[in-house]
Amino acid sequence: MRKVTFFVEPWVLKEPFIITGYTFTVTTVLVVHIEENGALGRGEATGVYYKGETAESMLKQAHSIKDRLEEGMDREELGKVLPAGGARNAIDCALWDLEAKLSGHSIWHLTGIKYEETTTVNTVSIAEPDEMAACARHLNTPSIKVKLNGEIPLERMRAVVHARPDADIVVDVNQGWSFDQLVDLAPQFKELGIKMIEQPLARGADAQLKAYNAPLPICADESCLHTGELDEAAERYSMINVKLDKTGGLTEALDLIKRAREKGLGVMVGNMTGTSLAMAPALVAAQLCDFADLDGALFLEKDRDHGMTYDGGKVGGLTRDLWG
């Protein structure tokens, strides 16, 4: 019989991380351990903050199925009894890890996905333009994601581009613009060489995108949580940001990527911050995506032992001691 244990862990950020409407100084995560026949599977989730998820709410949800997990629940059954979200993510990823350990095969073998060296964006959070430029200038990566809100977005963007004209830059607005702002700024951002704008409008207030002929790709994040929301998102966006906390784990994330590709959409894999234990399964999904945003562990004062490796914008180092 399995032994299942849940933990809530706070991980302090090096400095405040600022996006539209939120400032984060600590990431509190749910960690799941599933032990069976001497093998230990682990998973981690931060949850979907804008849906009201917290470590405590995820913990309560996870405890509601603890007995069934210990009796042998698999990933398919898990997807039927828990909704998409952080609790299911942590459990789903722990079950993948457990399967890898018990079978003696890596996650690459189990999924049939080939690993290749992966470039992750490094993120610049919201600050004064000169501060954002300085941050971008010191990032040792060819790919940058810039967080923006509705205040002086063009000034901030020009400062970052001037500081790093060599970088591939994407923008994440986290629902911070009006439609009129998007229409005004998108062509100017295209002229600056920006590759993509992520979630410019609020979730549930983006219907105008259906008739909008954007000059550069517009990516859904908050507006597409899981496969159940894909059809509507595909009418409004040309890309989807897949996050395991939103989908409820790697299992659903891989399905969402497959379905998005079938619709001709671009795909990005992202994160809600967290340790390398949360970034590891997302690295698997990253192999199937156009962009990867897996720098969450870099925001922490410290990471887990045997954490992911980050060097020059490359992320890797997925070992048995970490996950999968």
For 72-87, write each residue's pLDDT tens digit.
999 999 999 999 999 9
260-302: per-residue pLDDT in tens?
999 999 999 999 999 999 999 999 999 999 999 999 999 999 9
Predicted local confidence at residue 272, as pLDDT: 96
Query: What average pLDDT does the segment 59-74 reach?
Result: 98
166-177: per-residue pLDDT in tens?
999 999 999 999
Element (H, E) at 6: strand 3-19
Predicted local confidence at residue 222, as pLDDT: 97
For the chain, the domains span 3-107, 118-316
Amino acid at 161: V
179-226: per-residue pLDDT in tens?
999 999 999 999 999 999 999 999 999 999 999 999 999 999 999 999
Amino acid at 178: S
For the domain with range 118-316, which CATH number is right: 3.20.20.120, 3.40.50.620, 3.30.2350.10, 3.30.930.10? 3.20.20.120
Predicted local confidence at residue 43, as pLDDT: 98
Predicted local confidence at residue 19, as pLDDT: 92
% of the chain with per-residue pLDDT over 90: 98
% of the chain with per-residue pLDDT over 70: 100
Q: In angstroms, rounded to a whole number, what is the distance separating the alpha carbons of residues 308 and 294?
A: 10
Query: What average pLDDT does the segment 121-128 reach?
Result: 97
Q: Quick one: fold of 3-107?
A: Enolase-like; domain 1 (3.30.390)
Give the CA distances from residue 19 to residues 37, 49, 161, 175, in Å, rounded to whole numbers and listed in that order. Answer: 44, 12, 19, 10
Q: In angstroms, rounded to a whole number, what is the distance separating the alpha carbons of residues 171 and 65?
A: 39
Predicted local confidence at residue 110, as pLDDT: 98
Check if 3-107 and 118-316 are the same fold: no
- The answer to whether 295 touches 263, Cβ cutoff 8 Å, is no
Q: What is the mean pLDDT of the chain?
A: 97
Question: What are phi and psi for residue 13, nearest 5 degrees?
Answer: -80, 150
* Banded pLDDT at 1 (limits 50, 70, 90): confident
- The answer to whether 90 touches 30, Cβ cutoff 8 Å, is yes
Reference 209, options 244, 183, 190, 230; nearest CA is: 183
Neighbours of 9 (CB within 10 A): 15
pLDDT at 97 over 90: yes
How does 80-112 read in b/e, with b if 16+ C-beta sit within 10 Å?
eebebbbbbbbbbbbbbbbbbbeeeeebeeebe
Residues with a known catalytic role: 147, 243
- The answer to whether 58 touches 52, Cβ cutoff 8 Å, is no
Q: In angstroms, rounded to a whole number, what is the distance separating the alpha carbons of residues 90 and 201?
A: 29
Q: In angstroms, rounded to a whole number, what is the distance separating the alpha carbons of residues 36 and 59?
A: 21
Predicted local confidence at residue 231, as pLDDT: 98
Predicted local confidence at residue 21, as pLDDT: 87
Per the structure block, which two tokens stand in for 267? 């795909």
How does 32-53 read in b/e, with b if 16+ C-beta sit within 10 Å?
bbbbbeebebbbbbbbbeeeeb
